[in-house]
Amino acid sequence: MCPYFFMKRICFKNRILELDGVPLIMGILNVTPDSFYDGGRYFDRSRAEERAFRLVEEGADLLDIGGESTRPGSDSVTPEEEIRRVVPLIEFLAGRIPIPISIDTYKAEVARVSLQAGAEMINDISGLTFDPDLVSVVAESGVPVVLMHTLGRPQVMQENPVYRDLIAEIKEFLAGAIQKAERSGVRPENIIIDPGIGFGKTMEHNLEIINRLADFQALGKPVMVGPSRKSFVGKILDEPVDERLEGTLAAVAIAAWNGAEIIRVHDVRAARKVVRIVTAIKNVKREKLALSEVDG
């Protein structure tokens, strides 16, 4: 059980990560042939291992390993294939890197085997909606879980996504996912939420989410976002995926300013520098506010 403190924290089996005002950086490692940015780059086992150590060196607080692309229009793979891609890597890295490993999957069997191999966290893009058995795996294992909002499966989620009230509908979805998880035995302190940038959203939707991230804090859970090199950045800048670093970092800065507590990125070193600057500026603002209140 995670010890109670006023400060938010993420509790793993043998370690605790404090959410102390400086956003945690989750490094992305896709061992897939078809992910939108790094698909194929780390499909080779030795290159994947090298990349994992590099992300740790760059300052990642968490490592998120995925074995199935969830880019818009992507096809799903079987649990067996996903396990074949991720489990040997997790087994190799567990105990060799000093940060927790997250498994990016919505499949119960993949999550179960990955946790047995050494993963300590589950990142579910479906918010417990794609596989009804996943919530039991989360509850029984006692690990932290990210519950993300998506509007349908990756194959169709970008086909004219429409909302009556974007933020209210995402919050309603996430509140339902939280309720389902907690009723199924998932510890309340183990739940992290993600509004799902790029998952069934237009460019305008993504911008509104980043602008209104603070609204999601009303749900009482740590908020994670993943703006890294996504299509909304490319549309604004008219740039291909390899030229979206600066745009991504701008989104990271605004997300950090607006209350994101975990930021999931490909470019860990650069994102780490950005959140340090944002945090320093926010702390000065808080200190000045506190002084003014004392003087008043």
Q: Which residues are catalytic?
A: 230, 264
The whole-angstrom separation of Cα 115 and Cα 98 is: 16
- The Cβ of residue 232 has, within 10 Å, a number of other Cβ atoms equal to 22
Pairing of strands 121-124, 24-30: unpaired
The whole-angstrom separation of Cα 161 and Cα 254 is: 24
- 119's tokens: 């993963």
127 Cβ contact list (under 8 Å, min separation 6):
147, 148, 149, 150, 173, 174, 176, 177
Dmax (CA) for the chain in angstroms is: 64
